[in-house]
Amino acid sequence: MKPLRILIVDDEAPARARLRDLLSDLAASLPHEIVAEAADGMAALEACETHAPDVVLTDIRMPRMDGLELAQHLGRLPRVPGLIFVTAFDRYAVKAFELAALDYLLKPIRAVRLAAALEKARHSSLRSEQLQILAPQGRSVLRSTERGRSLLVPVADILFLRAEQKYVTAHTREREYLLEESLNQLEQEFGEIFVRAHRNCLVARKAIAGYERGQHAIGDGEEGSEAQWLLLLHDVSEKIPVSRRQWPTVKALIKA
Amino acid sequence: MSPSIRHNLIATALPDFRNLGVWLRVLLGVNLLGLLWVVARNGDWHLLPGEFVDIALWLEPPLFVLLPLLHLLSTRLAELPPRLGKLTVMCLALLVAGAQHLAFSFSFLIAETSLARALFWAALTTGVMLVYFALRSALYSPALAEARLLALTARIRPHFLYNSLNAVLGVMRRDPRRAETALEELSDLFRVLMKENRELVQLSDEIGLARQYLELEKLRLGERLRIDWQIDACPPDTLMPPLMLQPLLENAVYYGIEPSEMPATITVSVGTQGKRVRIAIANPTPAGTGAIHVGTQGRGNQMALANIRERLMLFYDLEADLSVLERDGSYTVTVDLPLRRRDQA
């Protein structure tokens, strides 16, 4: 049997040490390899890209990115690892795991439970409905790949998202990022943060500064060529055309 | 203020006349009675303010003589059997009312009422107030107050215990001595947590306990947790409610250190200002991503603060104060207590 490739994620050094100890005790019955350790969700995500682990053991409360959000990003990786949460007693988290049918271990961890959870995780991976239950408020960062490296873009920094052929670009004040996501899914996940301006574009509600009448034609079909209103945004000079269909919604938002 | 809530509530059916809250209640109560009297006697609303001023002239001077007098005598009064104590208070009130009547009849103010009437009203008012305080202390009966107090102090996040045990297990194989110390600290801490904490304790003991707690957190968090102790010249035998620092520090660690990527510092300052003790605990409020960062210091914190506020109320009535300041990326809880020392207790 191929050794199980494990990633350990916890912000507390003694907790990581405890997992290492227990895993080394289990080595005889459960061949494995600890491919990396990470102290927070972001570091874990990077480690996943380099090492492609089979199973991720992760704490919940961590700086920078917590375990619940890490899970959401893991679910979008090309190769989704098995996931086991390791947590000190937390009623709310435990309830969420049970609802989502995800595996969890309670600290202090017991070797027997750990072995059983690893065995189970080897054969299962995350499903999107599990993630929805786990974190209904959506992700707080989006992952962008650029020349083989991945960058994390805070959702709060994004001014607008635009679909361009195969990709979606996320525009922040400084620059733009390529995302491998669909605009429709983004609209579903972040409907409270962004509003659709036209077929290809979502605009952050709080980025809208005002609007003006323009002769802009975006030329992608009968709807786009009629666009007459342009949205002005904070912090960037680019103006976003609004389609006739979306104009009532957007206008109501500005007036409110 | 007596050193324990038990003493405060059982031994003296009389209220503690050194307590500002008691003064406030007496002043409000007596004036309310005066107002009732004016309203009852008088159907015409236009005359009410004038009439109330008239009666206030009769009510206020004896109160401002009687209350300081009771304040001075409060230790003696507390030593008397409750009945004798109440009788003494009644006699003092009548004495003061009589003296006032005498003084008013010689001054420009003409005593409209006879001495007997003045004494009757004084006796009635004092009686009503004494009954009020007796009822109030029955309402907050020792058993109820004690149960409440014990329930309030028994809480600590289970999260802390399990994380600490996990951390001890984590260092056990590499550093058995560190694990030993940590278990000793943990048992000391829980000995205090499990105790029936109904007595005021010395500030030095509270600080010792806080240090032990923080040592345990350092085992988990290592260099990420830094503490800045600013303890000004403060008598070590200063008294304070038990287990007040620890929950505040626990919150500071939970909301200020754990979510922070960089090492962060909790500042604990303790000092006296005149007859007050001021304890302040400040932690940074780190920004971050994810569910645990949403909002400011969350529900657990609000519960701990409400809990401490209630305990302060049980121990000090209105004389203690807890305030929260959130500004410039820092969160500060300040507790302001009357300064009491062991020998004064």
pLDDT digits (tens, 9 = 90+) for B186-238: 999 888 888 777 788 899 999 999 999 999 999 999 999 999 999 887 788 88
Burial B245-284 (b: 16+ CB within 10 A, else e): bbbbbbbbbbbbbbbbbeebebbbbbebeeeebbbbbbbb
The CA–CA distances, whole Å, from B102 to A137, B34, B106, B120, B122 equal 76, 21, 7, 15, 14
Instruction: Round to whole Å and give the CA distance between B317 and B319.
Output: 6
Is pLDDT at B333 greater than 50 in this prediction?
yes
Burial B128-149 (b: 16+ CB within 10 A, else e): ebbeebeeebeebebeebbeeb
Angle (CA) B308 B219 B239, round 5°? 30
Q: Are strands A82-87 and A103-106 parallel, antiparallel or unpaired?
A: parallel
CATH of domain B147-344: 3.30.565.10
Work out the average pLDDT over B19-42. 86
Start-to-end Cα distance in chain B: 7
CA atoms within 13 A on the CB side of A42: 16
Side chain identity at residue B320, one-letter code: A
List of chain A residues whose C-beta atoms are within 8 Å of the C-beta of residue B290 = 41, 65-66, 68-69, 140
Length of chain A: 256
Question: Residue B166: which of A40, A41, A107 has the nearest Cβ?
Answer: A107
> In the numeric block, which tokens belong to residue B3?
């050193």
Give the residue among A256, A219, A212 at the shortest CA–CA distance from A238. A212
List of chain B residues whose C-beta atoms are within 8 Å of the C-beta of residue A138 = none
Contact B324, B280 (CB under 8 A): no
Give the dihedral sign, CA A140/A144/A150/A153: negative
Any CB–CB contact under 8 A between A24 and chain B? Answer: no
Work out the average pLDDT over B153-170. 83
Helix (H) or strand (E) holding A84: strand A82-87
pLDDT digits (tens, 9 = 90+) for B263-320: 999 999 999 888 899 999 999 988 644 444 444 456 667 778 888 888 888 888 888 9
Q: What is the 3-state secondary structure (H, E, C) of B268-316?
A: EEEEEECCEEEEEEEEECCCCCCHHHCCCCCHHHHHHHHHHHHHHHHHH
| Test the A interface: residue of B156, B157, B169 with most A CBs within 10 Å | B169
| Test the A interface: residue of B218, B257, B289, B299 with most A CBs within 10 Å | B289
Instruction: Round to whole Å and give the CA distance between A248 and A197.
Output: 10
pLDDT digits (tens, 9 = 90+) for A49-99: 889 999 999 998 888 888 888 888 888 888 888 889 998 867 667 777 777
> In the numeric block, which tokens belong to residue A39?
């102290």
Instruction: Round to whole Å and give the CA distance between A207 and B63.
Output: 63
Question: Residue A14: which of B219, B261, B292 has the nearest Cβ?
Answer: B219
The CA–CA distances, whole Å, from A49 to A2, A76, A77, B98, B272 equal 20, 12, 8, 91, 56
pLDDT, averaged across chain B: 82
DSSP B174-243: T-HHHHHHHHHHHHHHHHHHHS---B-EEHHHHHHHHHHHHHHHHHHHGGGEEEEEEE-S--TTBEE-SS
DSSP code at position A195? E
Contact A94, A87 (CB under 8 A): yes
Distance of CA A170 to the CA centre of its chain: 14
Instruction: Round to whole Å and give the CA distance between B18 and B1.
Output: 7
pLDDT at B151: 65
Contact flag B288-A15 (C-beta cutoff 8 Å): no
> In the numeric block, which tokens belong to residue B246?
């620890």
DSSP code at position B156? -
ipTM: 0.74
B329: left (phi > 0), else alpha (psi -120 to 50), else beta? left
Give the dihedral sign, CA B168/B173/B175/B181: positive
Helix (H) or strand (E) holding B247: helix B245-252
Any CB–CB contact under 8 A between A18 and chain B? Answer: yes
Give the residue among B231, B289, B220 at the shortest CA–CA distance from B257. B220
Backbone phi and psi for residue B212, each to the nearest 5 degrees, phi listed first: -60, -45
pLDDT digits (tens, 9 = 90+) for B70-122: 888 888 887 888 788 888 889 998 998 888 888 877 776 555 678 888 888 88
- pLDDT band, residue B2 (cuts 50/70/90): very low
Question: Residue A141: which of B159, B220, B289 has the nearest Cβ?
Answer: B289
- Which residue is closest to B287 within chain A, CA to CA? A64
If you search the block for the tokens 């929950």, which residue do you land on?
Answer: B247
Contact flag B159-A90 (C-beta cutoff 8 Å): yes
Instruction: Round to whole Å and give the CA distance between A44 and B166.
Output: 21
> If you classify domain A4-134 with CATH, what class do you get?
alpha beta
pLDDT at B9: 42
pLDDT above 70 covers a percentage of chain A that reads: 88
CA atoms within 13 A on the CB side of B123: 9
CATH 3.40.50.2300 residue ranges for chain A: 4-134
In angstroms, the separation between the Cα of residue B55 and the nearest Cα of chain A is 57
Start-to-end Cα distance in chain A: 62
Q: In chain A, which residues have pLDDT < 70?
A: 89, 91-92, 101, 125-129, 131-132, 136, 215-227
Helix, strand, coil shares of chain B, percent, nearest 5, are: 65, 15, 20
Any CB–CB contact under 8 A between B288 and chain A? Answer: yes
pTM: 0.71
Instruction: Round to whole Å and give the CA distance between A7 and A106.
Output: 18
Instruction: Round to whole Å and give the CA distance between B181 and A239.
Output: 64
Question: Residue A108: which of B162, B220, B221 has the nearest Cβ?
Answer: B162
pLDDT at B11: 42
List chain B domain ranges.
5-140, 147-344
Burial B291-325 (b: 16+ CB within 10 A, else e): bbbeeebeebbeebbebbeebbebbbbebbebeee
- Which residue is closest to B172 within chain A, CA to CA? A18
CATH architecture for the domain at A141-255:
Beta Barrel (2.40)
In angstroms, the separation between the Cα of residue B289 and the nearest Cα of chain A is 6
Contact flag B158-A89 (C-beta cutoff 8 Å): yes
